[in-house]
């Protein structure tokens, strides 16, 4: 057995089932090992951002790591922006990054670079395998690191000779490394403090992050909210929020600073549950960066890497809400209007169209500002957002979510600017026949930047600046792009056309893209 086979076997033993890959020469032994060690499904991405984004989507939906396979420093580099999102989504991921043979590195061949240095700013755990003998243990340690709370990005660098050398004496991993760390429970005093705050009679907001926005946690939170009158907010960007009919509704903190300040202004206390104290996404001249009003008391009840399920259960008991029945959203589907494709008209259609158990990947940016409010009473679904603010996450994450959940419809709500960072993901959808309906909202500009220009205090946008904000010369033909990548595609110019095409897209099994050209 060579090192690559040993590595793969260990990954399989640790429960890894999928490998998203964009390999090169230094990874050929790993690739060959995929046939020798059965059970790992390999999925090719045409660009590394697809690979890492898919691993993020897979991790968000399964709470298990997929592995990626990337080609030296530049291959890793192309995948880093989606790893940034993944890390802030607490997605477990195990990256395998090929490197030159150990004795070749010192020669500074063209592809040589500081791979560990490149990985470190975007990964929680980084290691270079020392030899073929070390690989099985390294793989187990990487998986354990990825599964350690709250979910981490682990990167194992695989020198080519470690992959091709024969394994002679498997080095057992250190015992401390093979099991994920356990999530810690907060001290009783912290729970008691939260109880005192909620019983104080002062208006209190609970801000939720990490797994606190999953269905079961929200159910308990709904009990607590009903019993205490506390308000539930989700962080602006969460890994995944369970929503729709039958779920406890949670309001998202708005992205715009003024709206966020207004939303939080009524509260005298903020309790953080897997969330951080709320801050502005960007700084703006003459606006605060912190979103809580002066004098508000902030209590960190449980961190994102803490035991959120235990904490919520203990809190519900302590406030006497264990048998409270929470308020949940009731199914209420709007009738989509006809006419122009505008954000206001689109929202009811999105709400009405969502099939039960849909997974929504939302990178609709400005077009979709009202989509979440509109879908609160839609069929139950999961809503996934770009947690790290790195653009181009939508289509790759849709690939991974669809691989993770083949029986659920994935709906990618994509803006034309964002979608153009990694449209190659469409090819993986076609290749794997993934059940993804993508709607691209084409306003043919970076509309968010036009708005942000005003927010940062720029009154006049001149022609040079406009040339960096507009996408209309030439307009991208998304239908042509999608078909070029092998995905069925349609263009809608009216609400009626879009509704008909959505109907088609929802009823087919497999990928489909609709370019909705906004009025």
Closest to its own copies by CB, 135 vs 422, is: 422
Residue 167 C-beta: closest distance to its own copies, Å? 15
Residue 407 C-beta: closest distance to its own copies, Å? 22
Q: Which residue has the tokens 């929470």?
A: 326
Closest to its own copies by CB, 36 vs 504, is: 36
| 179 vs 166: CA distance, rounded Å | 27
| 203 vs 221: CA distance, rounded Å | 16
Q: Are 432 and 43 in contact (CB under 8 A)?
A: yes
Residue 218 C-beta: closest distance to its own copies, Å? 22
Closest to its own copies by CB, 88 vs 211, is: 88
Closest to its own copies by CB, 201 vs 474, is: 474
The set of residues, in sequence order, having a beta carbon less than 8 Å from that of 69 and lying 6+ positions away, is: 19, 20, 21, 22, 23, 27, 30, 31, 51, 96, 98
Q: How many contiguous H segments (helices) and E segments (strands) does the chain have?
A: 22, 18
The set of residues, in sequence order, having a beta carbon less than 8 Å from that of 186 and lying 6+ positions away, is: 301, 302, 303, 306, 307, 311
> Do the strands 381-384 and 241-243 form a parallel or antiparallel pair, or are they unpaired?
antiparallel
The set of residues, in sequence order, having a beta carbon less than 8 Å from that of 331 and lying 6+ positions away, is: 244, 245, 246, 377, 378, 379
Closest to its own copies by CB, 15 vs 103, is: 103
Nearest CA to 310 out of 276, 273, 270, 277 is that of 273
Residue 334 C-beta: closest distance to its own copies, Å? 31
The set of residues, in sequence order, having a beta carbon less than 8 Å from that of 35 and lying 6+ positions away, is: none
Distances, alpha carbon 466 to alpha carbons 421, 441, 446, in Å:
19, 20, 10
Closest to its own copies by CB, 283 vs 325, is: 283
Residue 66 C-beta: closest distance to its own copies, Å? 14
Q: Are 2 and 164 in contact (CB under 8 A)?
A: yes
Closest to its own copies by CB, 78 vs 345, is: 78
The set of residues, in sequence order, having a beta carbon less than 8 Å from that of 301 and lying 6+ positions away, is: 186, 190, 191, 193, 194, 271, 272, 273, 311, 315
Residue 81 C-beta: closest distance to its own copies, Å? 4
Residue 341 C-beta: closest distance to its own copies, Å? 20
Strand residue runs (E) in 178-278:
204-208, 231-234, 241-243, 251-252, 269-273
Closest to its own copies by CB, 34 vs 225, is: 34
Residue 210 C-beta: closest distance to its own copies, Å? 14
Closest to its own copies by CB, 105 vs 299, is: 105
Residue 511 C-beta: closest distance to its own copies, Å? 11
């Amino acid at each position: 057995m060579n090192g690559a086979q040993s590595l793969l076997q260990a990954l399989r033993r640790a429960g890894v089932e999928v490998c998203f890959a964009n390999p090169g020469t230094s990874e050929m032994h790993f690739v060959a090992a995929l046939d020798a060690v059965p059970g790992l499904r390999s999925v090719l991405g045409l660009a590394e951002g697809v690979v890492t984004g898919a691993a993020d989507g897979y991790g968000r939906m399964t709470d298990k790591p997929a592995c990626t396979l990337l080609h030296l420093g530049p291959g890793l580099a192309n995948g880093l922006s989606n790893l940034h999102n993944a890390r802030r989504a607490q997605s477990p991921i195990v990256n395998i990054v090929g490197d030159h043979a150990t004795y070749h590195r010192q020669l500074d061949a063209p592809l040589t670079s500081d791979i560990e240095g490149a990985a470190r700013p975007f990964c929680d755990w980084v290691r270079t395998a020392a030899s073929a003998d070390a690989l099985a243990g390294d793989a187990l340690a990487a998986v354990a690191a990825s599964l350690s709370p709250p979910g981490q990005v682990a990167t194992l660098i695989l020198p080519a000779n470690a992959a091709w050398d024969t394994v002679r004496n498997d080095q057992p991993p250190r015992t401390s490394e093979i099991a994920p760390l356990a999530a810690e429970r907060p001290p009783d005093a912290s729970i008691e403090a939260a109880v005192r705050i909620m019983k104080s009679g002062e208006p209190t907001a609970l801000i939720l992050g990490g797994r606190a926005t999953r269905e079961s946690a929200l159910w308990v939170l709904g009990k607590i909210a009903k019993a205490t009158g506390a308000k539930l907010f989700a962080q602006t960007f969460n890994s995944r929020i369970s929503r729709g009919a039958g779920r406890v509704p949670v309001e998202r903190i708005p992205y715009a600073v003024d709206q966020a300040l207004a939303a939080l202004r009524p509260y005298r206390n903020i309790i953080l549950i897997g969330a951080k104290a709320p801050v502005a996404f960007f700084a703006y001249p003459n606006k605060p960066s912190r979103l809580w009003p002066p004098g508000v008391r902030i209590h960190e009840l449980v961190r994102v890497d803490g035991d959120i399920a235990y904490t919520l259960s203990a809190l519900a008991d302590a406030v006497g809400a264990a048998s409270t029945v929470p308020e949940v959203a009731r199914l209420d589907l709007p009738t989509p209007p006809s006419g122009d494709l505008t954000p206001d008209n689109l929202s009811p259609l999105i709400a009405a169209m969502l099939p039960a158990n849909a997974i929504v990947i939302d990178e609709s940016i400005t077009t979709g500002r009202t989509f979440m409010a509109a879908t609160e009473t839609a069929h139950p679904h999961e809503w996934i957002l770009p947690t790290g603010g790195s653009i181009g996450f939508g289509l790759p994450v849709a690939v991974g979510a669809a691989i993770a959940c083949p029986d659920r419809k994935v709906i990618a709500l994509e803006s034309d600017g964002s979608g153009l960072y990694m449209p190659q993901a469409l090819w993986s959808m076609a290749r794997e026949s993934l059940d993804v309906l993508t709607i691209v909202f084409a306003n043919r500009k970076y509309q968010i930047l036009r708005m942000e220009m005003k927010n940062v205090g720029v009154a006049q946008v001149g022609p040079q600046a406009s040339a960096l904000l507009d996408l209309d010369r030439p307009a991208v033909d998304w239908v042509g792009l999608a078909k070029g990548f092998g995905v069925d595609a349609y263009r809608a110019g009216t609400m009626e056309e879009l509704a008909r095409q959505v109907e088609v897209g929802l009823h087919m099994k497999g990928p489909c893209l609709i370019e909705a050209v906004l009025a």
